[in-house]
Amino acid sequence: MNKSKYSLGEECAVFGFFNRGEKDVGQLAYQSLFSMQHRGQDGAGLAGAVGNEVRHHKNIGLVNEVFTKQILDEYANDEILIGHVRYATSSSVTVLDTQPLVMHGYEGFIAMAHNGHIVNGNEIRRELQKNGVLFQTNVDSEALMHIIAGNRDGIEEGIKDLIKRVRGSYALTLMCPGKLIGVRDPWGIRPLCLGRLGDSYVLASESCAFNAIGAVFVRDIKPGEIVIITSSGISSIETPPMERTALCVFEYVYFARNDSVIDGVNVYQSRIRMGRHLCKTAPVEADIVSGVPESAIPAAIGYANESGITYGQCLIKNAYSGRTFIQEGQMNREQSVRMKLCAIHENVENKRIVLVDDSIVRGTNSMYIVKMLRNAGAKEIHMRIASPPVKFACRFGIDTPSRKNLVGAYLDTEEIASRIGADSLAYLGIEDLIAAVGNKNLGLCCACFDGKYPMPID
């Protein structure tokens, strides 16, 4: 079961490893993918190569369900690996649509893992089909593979062609005989970074994947950059980035893990700053500040530190709620929230609570969380949201509902507060959010808040 359909969901994580002397690299890949499980829970896969031979394994499920020790042992001595965890958005959840994708090109095999979404994917698919290309999956990633594999001048030229033709978000890890390649779209919407483990090199969507295996963070891949890793070392092809780069700001608000660093910004510290800014613009008298687990907790700590109000845990998350045998479609929304969260009565009863959350999408989760705290005896509940109202659907790989289902698109703040049952509600403004991220030179996509997409949207 993927993340709650009443909240936002990320679309994937990618991984790559060029082995220069490490042992048991299948386990290293497993640990890295496991550390990025928060980015996708619908499927996982690995592809590994020795010389011109490639093997791959993928399936529906969590990383620890897809890979057994026996499977990982098959990759123990591979020279190159790439991996993927998937969050399905529009496509169905099938083994065929999981990644990495593998096909043959003019240089031999090509394997690819993709995080993102292609805005002009249907247009590109039609163009390729007119030229006789047959598609085997429902994912837009396959169109990218065909562009690359179909280029007679080699994989690097195929990637350059892709960058010219494709509008959308993509962080890619690819491998072909003797090469591991990382690619980031010229807008820089999706993150990708480079690490090092001994003499080996690692690519990953988040630097937390390096922490999991003891690798050292080297740098972020630049927007529009193609990084090529071979036995001779690293080379880079820098295609021109767009005039406006646009890293998804929700990486800092919600998606990325607290211990990751993205484009020079520590995710945890950015969330602390969000909470501090939120307190400055929306203070309130209260007895306790708390956060909705997990991503809102740093913002709640920041709010508490700025306000001088004691921070305390009012909600506890079921550690095993990420995947259950009962699908969410078989239970009502309130049951779904109760399975994931429980109130700590001793910290709630007769208290005025500032409850910090990272975002409100439909408002459904917030409504039932407020109700849960009321039932536990809360005297007052003041919701504080560490991001602006979500008013527009994402077109770059985030699983947002249609605009008609985004409560921030058609209700004002007071109306939303009334709907969810809070005594008050306040959001962090866009300018304060950008300031909290803390990198003045970093272009951010805030289109889900302001509707200003960094490229034409079909």
Torsion sign, CA atoms 364, 369, 375, 380: negative
- Write down the catalytic residue from 12, 176, 394, 446: 12
The one-letter amino acid code at 114 reads H
- By the 10 Å C-beta count (0-12 exposed, 13-18 middle, 19+ buried), 420 is classed as buried
Measured from the Cβ of residue 238, the count of other Cβ atoms closer than 10 Å reads 12
Tell which residue, 385, 383, 388, 315, has the closest CA to residue 355: 383
Given a contact cutoff of 8 angstroms between Cβ atoms, the answer to whether 275 and 303 are in contact is: yes
Tell which residue, 240, 182, 249, has the closest CA to residue 396: 249
- Which DSSP category does 375 fall into? H
Output the DSSP codes for 12-81: EEEEEEE-SS-S-HHHHHHHHHHHTGGG--SEEEEEEEETTEEEEEEEES-HHHH--HHHHHTTTT-SEE
Quick check: is 12 catalytic?
yes
Distances, alpha carbon 19 to alpha carbons 22, 25, 31, 417, in Å: 6, 8, 15, 53
Tell which residue, 20, 12, 157, has the closest CA to residue 80: 20
Continuous segment of H or E residues that includes residue 190: none
Given a contact cutoff of 8 angstroms between Cβ atoms, the answer to whether 26 and 33 are in contact is: no
Distance from C-alpha of 168 to C-alpha of 170, rounded to nearest angstrom? 7
The one-letter amino acid code at 65 reads E
Given a contact cutoff of 8 angstroms between Cβ atoms, the answer to whether 242 and 49 are in contact is: no
Hey, which residues are catalytic here? 12
